[in-house]
């Protein structure tokens, strides 16, 4: 083999001018407080080292004990951990509702659940999987891992991040409590008008759906912005754009898609709420409105949504493939470009969900072309990963197994997606179980399998303990078989004419056997997750200790302790390679000079990643939690009366002032 990079080259740390800007903070000619030399009394990390440094930093960055402390924390790892756990609880709830549905469909004319409950169940399943699991899980991983991977100590806006978590949690609780009280939405996760409109959805069920959207989207957009700022401004010195880990790229592109796609669903659900509650006519054809406007708005979000769920998974796959192929990724630039291309293209596909609504033909064909075109960036990604494995030395541990499962399932789902992109074929398979099969192949294949891989992969980082490899392999086998047994037959049931969202079917339709097989598969698949749950709980208690870098991976999160200390890193690393830990095996180049007593972190430039500022980041605060409570009261109140905006605003405003008002003890007064 010819050596492309010599060991010497990759270890070389560039001169200071390429690592730091050296610019002043204030405007030219102005004596700014920003440029004041740091307080000589304050202890800095170039004065202390070793365990003492670790301990002092841990005290500065730590979270206080007790309930108030727990609710005030702004540590991205604590919030991220709660986020991941909450999203996975919702995954189980969503899965449970799916199992009930599958049991109902196991036989024709089954009476396990009636149409009313069935409609609520499939709505809750869709809503939970899409809004309470699919989107948040990607963001949750971003919250935990992006700061670690870019080598900083906290996420961009820590308090906003904490607030977002609580808003998401309250939104999810609201809809599940509503469901348990028989106010669960029963209009499908897409809630098409007029079915979800004021005339055909009496009561509060559809309002609960619409307001849950507001909760999760406020939270989603806020986290996306925090993630973008973290990836743009808080990268370790030397982390140029082409050294950003692919996972961070994926989360970055994902965040951009979120920022531009989620407003569409908020618009749609806000319009729906207004139609329902204050009598606007946006979707009322008799008064100049139009029902299809809703579908356009919804799918303008709804298709990017699929990529919002898929993009983080590409990050997980990239990370796992590289570590377990024991080779740096093949085609870094094409991979990044195809991520970005996917992000852009995802906004040009929404009409393929509306091919049967009677839209003009030529327009529809345009969307056929654009929908099929997305095969190109996805193809590039798949091929680059396969190439990385090809030239690597794959290590078959549970994370890689799940990624291999991902390839099998996701590629199949992507290919059946090509059929759906074709207008004529779509007229036959649209809204049938074929589509159900297709998007479960895409979403479970494209998100859940990589996610499970990611959990096996990062679990040692989160908890400091390894998960059981033996159970992991059993889990994989069961999940893979269960999944295919459950969902492959649905392609056929759909082609045989079984529409989606039916609570039962008649024996003479001839769908009974296939449905029975699907149900058996679904139970098996759910069972594999119980095994997974057991593995998580048992390993978290008794798993083998992991150490900081159990997989001998190359990215920065493995340079922190497992689980990471509150400060993440004792000193901010300096990055000279895409895989810093592979490039620097003996010593880690770092920045010194940050405060040990205050929460200082490095702010760097967007493209070159040069260190620019040493900014303080917010202290823990209870106000984000209180703001989330005030927001919840306002949102829930506004489902009942528009006056909630009047009486709900003062507490919200107060909470926000509390949030932003500087504490007497902060840096200002020192």
Partner 1 sequence: MKRLVPLLLIVTLALAGCQGWQSALDAHGPAAHTLANMFWIFVAVLGTVWFLTMAALLLALRRRRPVDADPLVTDPGTEKRMTMTISVAIGLTLVTVITFTGLSYAAQKVLYSHKDGALTLLVTGQQWWWEVTYEDEQPSRVFTTANEIHIPVGEPVLIKLEASDVIHSFWIPNLTGKMDAIPGRQNQIQIQADRPGLYRGQCAEFCGLQHAHMGIVVIADTREDFERWRDHQVSSAIAPNDPERQRGMEIFLSRPCIMCHQVRGTDAGGKVAPDLTHVGSRRTIGAGTLTTTRGNIAAWIVDPHGVKPGVNMPTIQLEPDEVQPLASYLEGLK
Partner 2 sequence: MTIDSVQPRREGALPPHRVVLNARSMPAYAYGHRSPIWWGTVGFAAAEGMGFALAIGAYFYLVFINGNWPLSAPPPDLFWSGLFTIVMLASAWPNSLAKRNGEREDLVRSRRDLVIMSLVGLVLLGIRVMEFTGLHVRWDQNAYGSILWVLLGLHTLHLVTDLGDTIVLTVLMFTRHGHGKRFSDVGDNAFYWYFVIASWVPIYLIIYWFPRWW
Partner 3 sequence: MKVYLVLPLVAFALAACEREDREYRANPMTAESQEKIALVPLSAGPSGPTEYRSGLGKEYEENAFHISQGQRFYTWFNCNGCHANGGGGSGPALMDDRWIYGGQIENIVQTIREGRPNGMPSFRRKIPDDQIWEIAAYVRSMGRNVPKAAAPGRKDDMSPGPAEQRRPPGQVIDGGQVPPSAQMPQ
Residues 482-541 that bind partner 1 (CB under 8 A): 484-485, 488-489, 492-493, 495-506, 508-511, 513-514, 517
| Residue 611 contacts residue 19 (beta carbons within 8 Å) | yes
Nearer to partner 3, 284 or 378 (CB): 284
- From residue 196 to residue 235, the character string flagging contacts with partner 1 as x (rule: CB under 8 A) and all else as - is ---xx-----------------------------------
Residue (199 or 242) nearer to partner 3, CB: 199
243 vs 276, beta carbon nearer partner 3: 276
Query: What number of other Cβ atoms are within 10 A of residue 590's Cβ?
Result: 16
Query: Which residues ranging from 108 to 127 are in contact with partner 3 (CB under 8 A)?
Result: 116
Q: Does 33 bind partner 3 (CB under 8 A)?
A: no
Considering beta carbons, is residue 180 or 333 the nearer one to partner 3?
180
Place of tokens 């095994």: 531
Interatomic CA distance for residues 553 and 557, integer angstroms: 9
According to DSSP, the residues that pair with 221 across neighbouring strands are none
Nearer to partner 1, 254 or 338 (CB): 338
As measured in angstroms, the least distance from the Cβ of 282 to partner 2 is: 5
Q: Is 84 in the site for partner 2 (CB under 8 A)?
A: no
- Report yes or no: 567 and 76 within 8 Å, Cβ to Cβ: no
Looking only at residues 156 through 195 of this chain, which bind partner 3 when binding is defined by CB under 8 A? 173, 177, 180-183, 194
- Quick one: 50 or 66, whose CB is closer to partner 2? 50
Are residues 275 and 207 in contact, defined by beta-carbon separation less than 8 angstroms? no
Q: CA 232, 149, 340 angle in degrees (round to 5)?
A: 50
Report H helices in 464-564: 469-495, 512-542
Q: What angle do CA 311, 299, 406 make, to 5 degrees?
A: 30
CA distance 43 to 556: 26
Which residues touch 270 (CB under 8 Å, ≥6 apart)?
A: 210, 214
In this structure, how many other beta carbons lie within 10 angstroms of the beta carbon of residue 151?
Answer: 32
Q: Binding to partner 2 (CB under 8 A): which residues in 428-467?
A: 460, 466
- 593 binds partner 2, rule: CB under 8 A: yes
The tokens for 249 are 């790229």
Per CB under 8 A, the list member of 277, 419, 516, 531 interacting with partner 3 is 277
- Residue in 263, 348, 394, 658 binding partner 1, rule: CB under 8 A: 394
Verify binding: residue 271, partner 2, rule CB under 8 A: yes
Q: Which of residues 427-446 bind partner 1 (CB under 8 A)?
A: 427-432
- Our finding on whether 290 is near partner 2 (CB under 8 A) is yes
- Minimum CB separation of residue 266 from partner 1 in Å reads 22
Q: Where are any strands of DSSP class E within 359-464?
A: none
- Which of 1, 4, 27, 286: binder of partner 3 (CB under 8 A)? 286
With CB under 8 A as the rule, give the number of residues binding partner 2.
112
Angle value at C-alpha 263, between 259 and 268, nearest 5 degrees: 155
Name which of partner 1, partner 3, partner 2, none residue 64 binds, using a CB cut-off of 5 to 8 Å depending on partner kind: none
Give the Cα separation of 506 and 464 in Å (integer): 53
Q: Which does 173 bind (CB under 5 to 8 A by kind): partner 3, partner 1, partner 2, none?
A: partner 3
Whole-angstrom CA distances from 444 to 521, 547, 607 are: 14, 31, 35
Q: Is 465 helix (H, G, I), strand (E, B) or coil?
A: strand
Closest by CA to 221, choosing from 163, 277, 177, is: 163
Q: Is 67 in the site for partner 3 (CB under 8 A)?
A: yes
Q: Binders of partner 2 among 487-506, rule CB under 8 A?
A: none
Site residues, partner 3 (CB under 8 A):
67, 70, 116, 173, 177, 180-183, 194, 197-200, 202-205, 275-279, 281, 283-287, 640-641
């Amino acid at each position: 083999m010819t050596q492309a990079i010599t060991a010497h080259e990759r270890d070389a740390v560039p001169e200071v001018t390429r690592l730091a800007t050296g610019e002043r903070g204030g405007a030219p000619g102005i004596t700014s407080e920003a440029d004041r030399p740091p307080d000589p009394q304050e202890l800095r990390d170039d004065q202390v080292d070793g365990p003492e440094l670790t301990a002092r930093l841990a005290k500065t960055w730590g979270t206080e004990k007790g309930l108030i402390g727990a609710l005030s924390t702004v540590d991205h790892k604590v919030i991220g951990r709660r986020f991941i756990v909450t999203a996975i609880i919702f995954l189980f709830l969503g899965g449970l509702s799916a199992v009930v549905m599958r049991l109902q469909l196991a036989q024709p004319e089954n009476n396990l659940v009636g149409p009313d409950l069935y409609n609520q169940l499939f709505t809750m399943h869709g809503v939970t999987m899409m809004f309470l699991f699919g989107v948040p899980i990607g963001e949750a991983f971003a919250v935990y891992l992006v700061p670690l991977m870019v080598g900083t100590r906290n996420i961009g806006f820590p308090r906003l991040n904490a607030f977002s978590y609580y808003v998401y949690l309250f939104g999810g609780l609201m809809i599940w409590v509503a469901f348990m009280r028989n106010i669960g939405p029963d209009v499908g996760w897409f809630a098409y008008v007029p079915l979800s409109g004021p005339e055909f959805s009496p009561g509060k069920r559809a309002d609960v759906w619409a307001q849950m959207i507001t909760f999760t989207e406020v939270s989603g957009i806020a986290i996306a912005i925090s993630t973008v700022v973290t990836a743009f401004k808080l990268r370790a010195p030397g982390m140029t754009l082409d050294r950003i880990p692919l996972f961070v790229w994926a989360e970055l592109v994902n965040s951009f898609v979120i920022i531009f796609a989620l407003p569409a669903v908020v618009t749609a659900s806000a319009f729906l709420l207004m139609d329902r509650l204050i009598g606007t006519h946006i979707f009322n054809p008799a008064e100049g409105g139009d029902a299809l406007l809703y579908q356009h708005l919804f799918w303008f979000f709804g298709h990017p949504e699929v990529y919002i769920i898929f993009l983080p998974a590409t990050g997980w796959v990239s990370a796992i493939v590289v570590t377990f192929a024991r080779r740096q990724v093949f085609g870094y630039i094409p991979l990044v470009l195809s991520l970005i291309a996917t992000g852009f293209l995802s906004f040009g596909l929404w009409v393929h969900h509306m091919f049967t609504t009677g839209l003009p033909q030529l327009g529809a064909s345009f969307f056929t072309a654009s929908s099929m075109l997305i095969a190109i960036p996805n193809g590039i990604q798949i091929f680059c990963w396969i190439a990385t494995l090809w030239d690597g030395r794959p290590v078959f541990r549970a994370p890689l197994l799940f990624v291999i499962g991902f390839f099998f399932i996701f590629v199949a789902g992507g290919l059946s997606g090509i059929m759906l992109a074709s207008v004529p074929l779509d007229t036959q398979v649209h809204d049938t179980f074929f589509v159900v099969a297709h998007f479960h192949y895409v979403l479970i294949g494209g998100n859940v399998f990589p996610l499970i891989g990611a959990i096996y992969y990062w679990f040692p980082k989160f908890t400091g303990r390894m998960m059981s490899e033996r159970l992991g392999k059993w889990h994989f086998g069961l999940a893979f078989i269960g999944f295919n047994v459950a969902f492959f037959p649905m392609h056929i049931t759909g082609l045989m004419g079984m529409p989606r969202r039916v609570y039962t079917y008649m024996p003479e339709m001839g769908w009974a056997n296939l449905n029975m097989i699907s149900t058996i598969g679904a139970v098996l698949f759910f069972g594999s997750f119980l095994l997974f749950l057991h593995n998580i709980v048992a390993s978290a208690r008794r798993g083998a200790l992991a150490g900081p870098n159990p997989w001998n991976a190359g990215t920065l999160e493995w340079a922190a302790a497992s689980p990471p200390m509150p400060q993440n890193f004792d000193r901010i690393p300096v990055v000279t390679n895409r895989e810093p830990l592979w490039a620097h095996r003996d010593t880690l180049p770092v920045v010194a000079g940050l405060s040990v007593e205050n929460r200082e972190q490095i702010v760097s430039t967007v493209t070159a990643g040069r260190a620019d500022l040493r900014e303080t980041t917010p202290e823990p605060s209870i106000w984000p939690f209180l703001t989330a409570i005030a927001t919840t009261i306002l949102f829930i109140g506004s489902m009942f009366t528009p006056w909630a905006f009047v009486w709900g605003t003062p507490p919200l405003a107060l909470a926000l002032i509390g949030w932003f008002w500087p504490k007497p003890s902060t840096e200002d007064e020192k």
